[in-house]
Chains A and B, each alone.
Chain A
Amino acid sequence: GAVVSQHPSRVICKSGTSVKIECRSLDFQATTMFWYRQFPKQSLMLMATSNEGSKATYEQGVEKDKFLINHASLTLSTLTVTSAHPEDSSFYICSASPAMGAGELFFGEGSRLTVL
């Protein structure tokens, strides 16, 4: 199956700092990438959908200025959590799709963010 690499897998940062998470599709071109956030014992909640070369579409309630998403190429998307606070601590996971609106999603390994 297709491979998506996400790193870092774990990151601990101080409150007020910014953290960047990278998501790369290694063997296919990802037309669309999705970013999810998952709190303990909860579902994966969609944060934003990004298509290569265009601005990300954020879900209601997700702050665009706080969670910066860049999808600069067909193989790379980044999520930057700016001015992180303890409530941003969560499991962040990206997924990529070679097609728009169809087909299996391929997931990164996830990033566990802890904000002290």
Chain B
Amino acid sequence: QQPVQSPQAVILREGEDAVINCSSSKALYSVHWYRQKHGEAPVFLMILLKGGEQKGHEKISASFNEKKQQSSLYLTASQLSYSGTYFCGTFRTGNQFYFGTGTSLTVIP
């Protein structure tokens, strides 16, 4: 039920780019992206509702390939504030919401 993310962890220098992938063995009808700082609640980044949809949020954007059951999150020109753990998530039939396995992102000066 849980989407699988890759990579599990990534370390970037400020200004570098990163891609986080989210893959599901079951059909994806929508994909959510959240970022969580240690000990805090997840913060909403964006939802993609349609296959082929791309969205942007400042320097963070995402794409959704419904046929491949995949989504990718793109972080460009990373900032220190981007550090945290990123989760994709999706609703399944039965109204349950499952988070992905998570990707730890560390941005260093």
Contact = CB atoms under 8 A, between A and B. Distances in A.
Interface of A: 1, 32, 34, 36, 41-46, 49, 51, 57, 59, 91, 93, 95, 97, 100-105, 107-110, 112
A46 B98 contact: yes
A36 B42 CA distance: 12
B41 A49 contact: no
| B interface, size bucket | 20 to 34
Contacts, number: 55
B30 interface: yes
Given A43-B101, A44-B42, A104-B44, A49 B96 contact: yes
Contact of A105 (B32, B39, B100): B32
B40 A110 contact: yes
Contacts of B100: 43
Interface stretch (B12-20, B51-59, B60-68, B87-95): B87-95
